[in-house]
Amino acid sequence: MRLFISLKHLKRFVYISCLLFLISKTCVAQQNLFNVVTTDITDSAKLFFQEQLNVNAQTSSNATFTWGLGHGFELGFNVFGVNYDNHAHNFLKNDTDHTSPLGPILLINAQKAFELNKHFKIGIGTQSGINLTQYAKYIRPVTFSYATLVYHPFHTLKLVGGAYYGDKYFLGTGNQLGGMAGFEWAVIEHHFHLQADWLYGTNSSSVWVPGAVIYFTQNISISLGWQFPNPNSPNQQAFVFEFTFRKS
């Protein structure tokens, strides 16, 4: 069942998001390529913000706030799955159709990175929480966890590979366990980067996205990409826009 989100609640969410963004004076790293985690950990006592919009028949908003705790560890929260129907001009909520991801969802994110040497790094993390609904009986636990291996053959190239697990409330129908991979290449370092990532499977996260990162300043960049669905997945092509604010 899809329910409309009131304009009052939307305005409240936008206001809180903007307030948190404005106070995030120092942030580091790009947490995701597009969908694959880079295992770049937010520095201690710094706040990280990233907003991603996927646009086709619907516009889907995914916002991430993360706080660096030091020693290669970070903690924060995500508001994912805020969906707007571009044809019906309504905000949507899914709290009963378990063949599709539930949304909106509020997640706690946590990640730990282990530096092996100057070329290799391992990361483990999770994004776990609940869906947002006015009906207590429809609340479900939502989780997505992952492990990644990051390889820097040289400082301008990053290769990422790993595995993920998600429950049906996060991924919808299809596989719950899968692999993922991606890369980022600094063509003109801190000005223009190429990147792409891919999640294996047939679930609602199973897509590959090639694109680019454009740096306007040392603190602000945008990523532009195009989403392609995996075969036999329920996904559609989409334009992907990502905004990241960080301190260099």
Q: How many domains, in total, are found in the chain?
A: 1
118/6 Cα distance (integer angstroms):
50
Q: pLDDT (tens digit, 9 = 90+) per residue, 115-161?
A: 999 999 999 999 999 999 999 999 999 999 999 999 999 999 999 99
Q: What is the CA 103 to chain-centroid distance, rounded? A: 14
- Which pLDDT score is estimated for 63? 97
pLDDT value at 185 more than 70: yes
Give the CATH number of the domain where residue 201 resides: 2.40.160.40
130/189 Cα distance (integer angstroms):
39
Residue ranges making up the domain that contains 60: 2-245
Q: pLDDT (tens digit, 9 = 90+) per residue, 32-51?
A: 899 999 999 988 888 889 99
- Which pLDDT score is estimated for 45? 87
- Which pLDDT score is estimated for 217? 87
- Which pLDDT score is estimated for 46? 87
Q: pLDDT (tens digit, 9 = 90+) per residue, 136-147?
A: 999 999 999 999
Which whole-number Å values give the CA distances from 137 to 100, 131, 157, 173, in the listed order? 18, 11, 47, 21
Q: Which residue has the tokens 């991430």?
A: 64
Do residues 176 and 163 touch, judged by C-beta distance below 8 A? Answer: no
Q: pLDDT (tens digit, 9 = 90+) per residue, 5-29?
A: 444 444 444 444 444 333 333 333 3
Higher pLDDT, 107 or 13: 107
**Mean pLDDT of the residues in the chain:** 89
Higher pLDDT, 195 or 7: 195
> Is the dihedral angle over the CA atoms 14, 15, 16, 19 positive or is it negative?
positive
The amino acid sitting at 57 is A
4/149 Cα distance (integer angstroms):
40
Q: Which tokens sit at 178?
A: 């899968």
- Which pLDDT score is estimated for 247? 60
DSSP string, the chain: -EEEPPHHHHHHHHHHHHHHHHH-----S-SBSSSSB---PPPBT-EEEEEEEEESSEEEEEEEEEEEEETTEEEEEEEEEEEEETTTTEEEEESS-TTS--BSEEEEEEEEEEE-SSSEEEEEEEEEEEE--S-GGG--EEEEEEEEEEEEEETTEEEEEEEEEE-HHHH-SS-SEEEEEEEEEEEETTTEEEEEEEE-SSSTT-EEEEEEEEESSSSEEEEEEEEEEPTTSS---EEEEEEEE---
36/77 Cα distance (integer angstroms):
17
